[in-house]
Chain A
């Protein structure tokens, strides 16, 4: 019994100690003390480059990895206090990490977070107009065929990335490029510690020893095993050394939509639909 109680004591001590060294106790009370301070915005830009630009891009315009922060309307709250919380605590379920928890950049002090917010405010602009969301909805789930592979709000296919939040998670330019040239940049993960998707929607073709063939997307893989979904949305699990052959490609299964297949106006409307859905 003595050993057990000692062990419990150690555990309790550990929990107490962990709470002492837990996440930074920065709080977001009140307003930004540096609001509209040009010097603070400049300091904030340096911190932004170090800690944020990896995903949100130089100039905070987003891109293929993170949201465009020059939009005044922010997905996870647009007030100074909201921004502080988002930066400090991260956004669970997304690639946005809590302050100081990844190898990307360093942890920021409360003062530095406010400086970054001052910088973001200094580059905000009115959102560029996007297309007709209602028409885009019809196209997405109908004639353009997007929903064959992509799901939004629980409706659609499974072989491509789920897109309910994509309109706020990516810049408009990035969304357009992903449709016109889907293989240029797959819906990839980030660096190892902040991978957004376990898979990158790599294409795969498998041939088994018994003569079966499957093609589809990689759900996950390591050096020894492969988990994939075929075009009929069936999941297959393989040990690589027991396969006759397999080939993994960075050519996306998604066709490149040129302007003949999908006009610029149609694409603008689909983007309008995705941006609208993502902000709800």
Chain B
């Protein structure tokens, strides 16, 4: 792959330097230490992880674009991926350079002010890959002078940040068995953490940690316990071997306790519980793992013995409120959970969307499935539908309003189930599902939730359900997108729309914000284009 390195004129650097200093960021080129990521809030002009920093809040401390001037926002540049399918990436920005991935495992580095490519890269993969839901990739991790991404054929790849050249490329597992990667890795200390996709194929889910310099695997945590391990008894027979529980969304890291908080997906087959009687640990869980060795410290299971494909793969957001260290999590099953992150104990669970599958809670306060909510041969209408009350789209927490913002879906489905023989590498759902036949529209909303009460403060209704993630900023704004192609800035306090722009393609990504030369920008992918907006 040919490439050119980033070039700036001396005068640009001289001009830029004092402005950077005002914002408080160091002027280094693509040397991103663990210390920098851990202290990402000290350099708000950069966006150093999938969610911005380790806490998962997807909050930007930049306030140059704010409630009073956002009405003036204009597009600054558009970068086209020249690929089809959903574009789900969140780019990183480090010291004026934007690093992104695109459909079909493409990657690129751009001048973040102009959108001009510095290098572009195309990973090549076999034709018989097994992605369940499109040839998507959600982004890079960065550490040192390397970028890390994980591929559709289940490899982990390190690229040189300056050129896009491959430094190392390791196969995590045989993709032909139904494994793939779609998520953005997380860099912690000298480790690159990845979680696997493949819950639709009767795989055995896992998280891996790779040494950043060499690509050597340091640990693997299987999300279905083997014989002799705690939780093994929650699987019927050998069902744990093909029990799914993938880990396909980037988790968060708590430096204070050296723990990863990572969420897991559905048990397989997704809509047939009769082939895997039991709670099916650690499917649909929040896991607290020692980052050094991958040891499980505690877990919390959101949906036991899930039969509706309600992966719990939503970014778990670390928030500190009223002196408590918490995880806020709006789950695909329709409940908003507040969890004590010091011990994994549930504090509260409140519905944030229309839910019919549960009408009771267990002794711990966890919603439990009501009788008759299981899929049947003929089909059984349940809310939420298979896509859930939310899905993988990133929520955001704004420490200024102390509100949690989540893209919500209102859709019920008819769930059918039938026996299915397992065949390695073949789709394994044991099911079918349909939209409910009633003349009810699907719709969606961005909802602002008070995490402490679980109550909705406001909502912004979408005409059809949106797959957009969300960004909150110190400018008092929440940015979101919709399936009609709009990028929208809302007043974070009231939910009032202050600005919008029609991008001409549905949004399936989350926005992020950065600054270069003292100017703030907001970026989001829509359709096959990545848009960056700024003030005139």
Contact = CB atoms under 8 A, between A and B. Distances in A.
Interface of A: 3, 6-7, 9-10, 13-14, 17-18, 20-21, 24-25, 42-43, 45-47, 49-51, 53-54, 57-58, 64, 101-103, 105-109, 112, 183-186, 190-193, 200, 221-224, 250
Given A49-B431, A106-B200, A223-B463, 8 more contacts: A21-B135, A53-B434, A103-B133, A103-B134, A183-B439, A222-B486, A223-B484, A224-B500
A192 B127 contact: no
A102 B133 CA distance: 7
Given A14-B122, A18-B122, A46-B421, A64 B437 contact: yes
B362 to A, nearest CB: 32
Contacts of A109: 128, 426
Contacts of B497: 223
B423 A43 contact: yes
A46 B420 contact: yes
Interface string B271-313: 0000000000000000000000000000000000000000000
B122 A224 contact: no
A222 B482 contact: yes
B463 A221 contact: yes
A222 B463 contact: yes
27 contacts: A3-B4, A10-B120, A13-B1, A14-B120, A14-B122, A18-B122, A21-B105, A25-B127, A43-B423, A45-B418, A47-B427, A49-B418, A50-B427, A103-B134, A106-B130, A106-B131, A107-B131, A185-B439, A190-B435, A192-B483, A221-B463, A222-B463, A222-B486, A223-B461, A223-B462, A224-B500, A224-B502
B93 to A, nearest CB: 21
Contact of B82 (A7, A14, A185): A14
Given A103-B86, A223-B497, A54 B433 contact: yes
Interface in B69-95: 82-86
B483 A49 contact: no
Contact of B2 (A9, A54, A107, A183): A9
B439 A49 contact: no
Given A9-B2, A109-B128, A184-B439, A192 B431 contact: no
Query: Which size class do B's interface residues fall under?
Result: 35 or more
A110 B416 CA distance: 26
B86 A10 contact: no
B432 A106 contact: no
A106 B379 CA distance: 21
Nearest to A181: B439
Which are the 9 A-B pairs with shortest beta-carbon distances?
A: A222-B484, A17-B122, A49-B432, A53-B432, A46-B420, A106-B427, A103-B133, A50-B429, A192-B483
A10 B117 contact: yes
Interface in B315-337: none
Most chain B Cβ neighbours within 10 Å, of A24, A54, A103, A185: A103
B432 A58 contact: yes
B506 interface: yes
Given A46-B421, A54-B432, A185-B439, A222 B125 contact: no
Contacts of A49: 416, 418, 429, 431-432
Contacts of A21: 104-105, 122, 124-125, 127, 135
Most chain B Cβ neighbours within 10 Å, of A17, A45, A47: A17
Contacts of B430: 46
Given A109-B128, A222-B484, A224-B486, A191 B122 contact: no
Contacts of A250: 439, 441
Most chain B Cβ neighbours within 10 Å, of A3, A10, A46, A190: A46
A18 B83 contact: yes
Nearest to B270: A50
A193 B482 CA distance: 13
Contacts of B431: 49-50
B467 interface: yes
Contacts of B170: none
Contact of A106 (B120, B122, B132, B420): B132
Contacts of B429: 46, 49-50
Nearest to B379: A58
B435 A191 contact: yes
Contacts of A223: 461-463, 482, 484, 486, 488, 497, 500
A153 B30 CA distance: 61
Contacts of B83: 18
Most chain A Cβ neighbours within 10 Å, of B201, B441, B465: B441
B375 to A, nearest CB: 11
